[in-house]
Amino acid sequence: MKTRLVLAVLAAFMVAAFTSAAPASRSQAGPPSKLTIAYQPGLGYAPLILMKQLRTIEKRYPGTTVEWKVLASGTPITQGIITGDIQIGAVGTGPMLVGWARGVQWKIIAPLNLGDLWLMAKNANIRTIADLRGKRIATPTNTSIQAVMLRKMAQVKLGDYRALDPGLVALDHPDGMQALLTDQIDAHFTSPPFQFQERARGAHIVGKSYAYFGAHSFLVTVMQQKFYDDHTAFARFFYNQVVAMHNQIKNNPTRVARILSADAGGQPTWRQFKQWLTAKDPTTKRPALTWTTRPLGLMRTAAFMNKTAQLSKAPSSWRDLVFPPVYPTRGS
Amino acid sequence: MEASTSTAAIPRRPAAFGWARLPALVRYPIVGAVLVAAWHFYAVRKGPLVMATPWQTLEAFWEGWRNGSLSDPTWATLRLLVEGVGIGAGVALILTAFATLSKFGEDVLLFLTAVLNPLPGVAVLPIAMLLFGLNETALRFVIANATIWPIAIALNTGFTTTNPTLVAVGRNIGLTRVRVISDVLAPAALPHAISGLKTAWAFGWRTIIAAELVFGVAGSSGGLGNYINNARQYLLTPQVFAALLTIAIIGVLFETLFGQLERRTIIRWGMKSS
């Protein structure tokens, strides 16, 4: 009698567990009622920080609660999107492509920028890629765009894209910068503003990603297909907002720098941010970050990652990777 | 008759028919199959990116051990663990001998244990990385810290609870204090030593996996934690589960190993009831 009761409760529990749907606040049309946007530390996320500080989403859609999260790397953001905790994530093109190839149903809603990523070293004896053989090199994660660029450099200069793999260490940008400056690692493949900060503290540039890949996209914002289908108008609004923020950065760098500095708690100063926003490559004088929603180099990156077995499949066209608002930019 | 072979804390009424009447050889596989089936259906429901099904896990496990992608990191981690536990046991032995020989040593051991034992291994990792750099020495240091204190405590307990008559006999026949330690105290402390070693191994194993997850070294010198990290980054969920399966299997293997060790030594010698 008692056993039967226990079994019945257990069966009911299992039925409940298997049929409970994942919580979803979906409205068929219109904006989401709750939105979580995740990004990482770095200057490249400036358009999102601007949106956060200027509260542009809340002003346009008062019924939407927006939560902003800063996470250490693309991996937790990817996992958050898979489990539904995060709706819009800002990641590098590397993790975006890996997720896309793995079957995460996501695409790019708004590319954030093109970025020249620098491989920094502090030791004066490390001047070329060949010097890096057997040395410890830090990248944000093994799938990051920096790791992809490093393999490209190894392919071009050393003939084997795996030549530098044994020395790869995964460290997020702030930890990597500290490790480089305290000589715990030999090289750090990073991004603005960390590469500028390292250069200011005595590190030198060993390689630049633009030199090996041409101008290419650095950061993108992604959302799942399901979210786009449910909130198409909102997604288009989000894209237009990113464009608007880009214009702000281009036309009003002082105001933008003040906002970024306020968001960072005053340290670094707004003058420092303004300098970084407009920073240029020391030799070619090209800007290190180009603020545009036009994606460049996606197909090239995907093809290379496919060749190095980081991607199980390559996209047939750049349009496979982006949502309709991005089509008119004629990216690649 | 069922009541006498039952292991329940509260005596159960012997069942006339039903689950309890089946032999263990039938019960355990059925329970296992039910749990595996539940796992399978849950994994299918959650999707391949969140959970791997049992079959996918086995496939990834087999692949990983066949082509070395999983076996190499496992050996690397085990090697580090053995080295770390070795260092830990050695240092613990020295500290405990020092504590037995002098009051100052005992105070030092007490102080160090009170301060350093509660520290989880992974909490010490950032300091270790600053001191030793981003290499395996930092990991060995972290494991050693996780293993010294359980062993030292166990040995100290073993030494201090030795039968005083035995110690008196040893002193009586003229053994020096060092020989008293090696010939009287150490054998008497064997059950404590083995239990300390078991605890130390368990702490060390968990610490090394966690430290490697934080450490994030890629490439050929990576261990099991790094393998999990890499699989996570590439969204290869079956590989993550295969690594977890490896960890579970190694845990069971070591339990069996320690059980065998105990059976051949302290149980056979009557120092511990089986």
User: What does the pLDDT look like over B144-184, one tens digit per residue?
Assistant: 999 999 999 999 888 888 888 988 998 899 888 888 888 88
Highest mean pLDDT among A234-248, A272-286, B3-17, B126-140: A234-248
pLDDT (tens digit, 9 = 90+) per residue, B249-270? 998 898 889 888 888 887 777 7
Residue B211 counted as domain residue = yes
d(CA A144, nearest CA chain B) in Å:
9
Residue B214 counted as domain residue = yes
The pLDDT, as a whole number, for residue A142 is 86
Secondary structure (DSSP) of A152-205:
HHHHHHHS-TTTTGGGEEE--HHHHHHHHHTTSSSEEE--TTHHHHHHHTT-EE
Would you kindly state where each structural domain of chain A is located, as residue ranges? Answer: 34-115+216-329, 118-213
pLDDT (tens digit, 9 = 90+) per residue, A252-307? 889 999 998 888 888 888 888 888 888 888 787 888 888 988 999 889 899 999 98
At A134, is the pLDDT very low, low, confident or very high (cuts 50, 70, 90)?
A: confident
- DSSP letter for A107, please: E
d(CA B50, nearest CA chain A) in Å:
8
- The answer to whether the CB atoms of A104 and B217 lie below 8 A apart is no
- The answer to whether the CB atoms of A99 and B219 lie below 8 A apart is no
One fold for both A34-115+216-329 and A118-213?
yes
The pLDDT, as a whole number, for residue B219 is 43
Kindly list the residues of chain B whose beta carbon comes within 8 Å of any beta carbon in chain A.
18, 38, 41-42, 45, 47-50, 129-130, 133-134, 215-221, 229-230, 232-236
- The answer to whether the CB atoms of B219 and A167 lie below 8 A apart is yes
- The answer to whether the CB atoms of B234 and A142 lie below 8 A apart is yes
Whole-model pTM?
A: 0.81
Domain count, chain B: 1
- Residue B217 β-bridge partners: A169
For B42-82, give the secondary structure using H, E and C.
HHHHHCCCCCCCHHHHHHHHHHHHHHCCCHHHHHHHHHHHH
Annotation: CATH topology of A34-115+216-329: D-Maltodextrin-Binding Protein; domain 2 (3.40.190)
pLDDT surpassing 60 at residue B120: yes
pLDDT surpassing 60 at residue A74: yes
The pLDDT, as a whole number, for residue A23 is 45
Pick from B216, B219, B234: CB nearest A165: B219
Q: Smallest Cα–Cα separation from A136: which of A75, A197, A195, A183?
A: A183
- The rounded percent of chain B whose pLDDT value lies above 70 is 93
CATH class of A118-213: alpha beta
Q: How far apart are CA A236 and CA A123, in angstroms?
A: 47
Please state the rounded mean pLDDT for residues A152-177.
86
- Residue A187 β-bridge partners: A121, A137
Q: Smallest Cα–Cα separation from A197: which of A138, A122, A287, A283?
A: A122
Residue to substitute from A19, A100, A102, interface B, most B β-carbons within 10 A: A102
Q: How far apart are CA A249 and CA A277, in angstroms?
A: 8
Contacts of B38 in chain A (CB under 8 A): 14
Residue B29 counted as domain residue = no
Pick from B50, B129, B218: CB nearest A142: B218
Domain that holds residue B165: 70-267
The pLDDT, as a whole number, for residue A14 is 64
A165 CB near a chain B CB, below 8 Å? yes
Residue B240 counted as domain residue = yes
d(CA A114, nearest CA chain B) in Å:
23
Highest mean pLDDT among A2-11, A30-39, B218-227: A30-39
Mean pLDDT of chain A: 86
- The answer to whether the CB atoms of A82 and B49 lie below 8 A apart is yes
Residue type, B175: L
The pLDDT, as a whole number, for residue A111 is 92
Residue B129 counted as domain residue = yes
pLDDT (tens digit, 9 = 90+) per residue, A12-21? 666 655 554 4
- The answer to whether the CB atoms of B234 and A171 lie below 8 A apart is no
CATH of the domain at B97: 1.10.3720.10
Please state the rounded mean pLDDT for residues A128-154.
88
At A189, is the pLDDT very low, low, confident or very high (cuts 50, 70, 90)?
A: very high
Please state the rounded mean pLDDT for residues A59-88.
90
Mean pLDDT of chain B: 85
